[in-house]
Homo-oligomer: A and B are copies of this chain.
Amino acid sequence: MDNFVIPECTFSERSKQLTNSAIRRILKVTESPKTISFAGGLPAPKGFPVTVIQSAFNKVLSQNGYTALQYSPTEGYYPLREWIANEASQFCNCSIKPEQILIVSGSQQALDLLSKIFIDHGSNILIENPSYIGALQSFNLYKPNYIPLPTDNDGLISDSITPDLAKICRFLYVLPNFQNPTGQTLNFYRRVHLVKLSEQFQFPIIEDDPYGDLRFIGTPQPTLFSLSNKYGGNIIHLGSFSKILAPGLRLGYILASKHVIDKLVQAKQATDLHTSTLTQMAVYEILKTGFIKKHLTNIRQIYREQSISMINTMEKKFPKEVSWTRPEGGMFLWVTLPTQINSTKLLKKAIEKNVVFVPGEFFYSEKSLTNTLRLSFSTVPEEKILEGISILGKLLDEY
Are A1 and B250 within 8 A (Cβ)? no
Cβ of A109: which chain B residues have Cβ within 8 Å of it?
Answer: 271-272
Contact of A54 among B13, B65, B276 (CB under 8 A): B65
Cβ of A12: which chain B residues have Cβ within 8 Å of it?
Answer: 116-120, 123, 142, 170
Are A50 and B65 within 8 A (Cβ)? yes
Indicate the member of A96, A204, A260, A278 with the most B CB atoms within 10 Å.
A278
Give the copy number.
2
Q: Is A72 part of the contact surface with B, judged by Cβ < 8 Å?
A: yes
Closest to A61 in B: B54
Are A4 and B234 within 8 A (Cβ)? yes
> Interface extent on A, as a size class?
35 or more
Cβ of A138: which chain B residues have Cβ within 8 Å of it?
Answer: 270-271
* Contacts known (A10-B118, A42-B71); A272 close to B18, Cβ less than 8 A: no
Cβ of A50: which chain B residues have Cβ within 8 Å of it?
Answer: 61, 65-66, 69
Cβ of A142: which chain B residues have Cβ within 8 Å of it?
Answer: 12
Q: What is the CA–CA distance of A69 and B53 in the complex, to the nearest angstrom? A: 9
Q: What is the CA–CA distance of A269 and B94 in the complex, to the nearest angstrom? A: 36
Cβ of A72: which chain B residues have Cβ within 8 Å of it?
Answer: 248
* Contacts known (A6-B203, A105-B272, A120-B12); A45 close to B66, Cβ less than 8 A: yes
Are B58 and A15 within 8 A (Cβ)? no
Contact of A247 among B69, B105, B271 (CB under 8 A): B69
**Other contacts beyond A10-B171, A141-B267: 9, CB < 8 A:** A1-B94, A1-B97, A3-B232, A4-B257, A18-B117, A45-B66, A48-B69, A106-B272, A271-B271
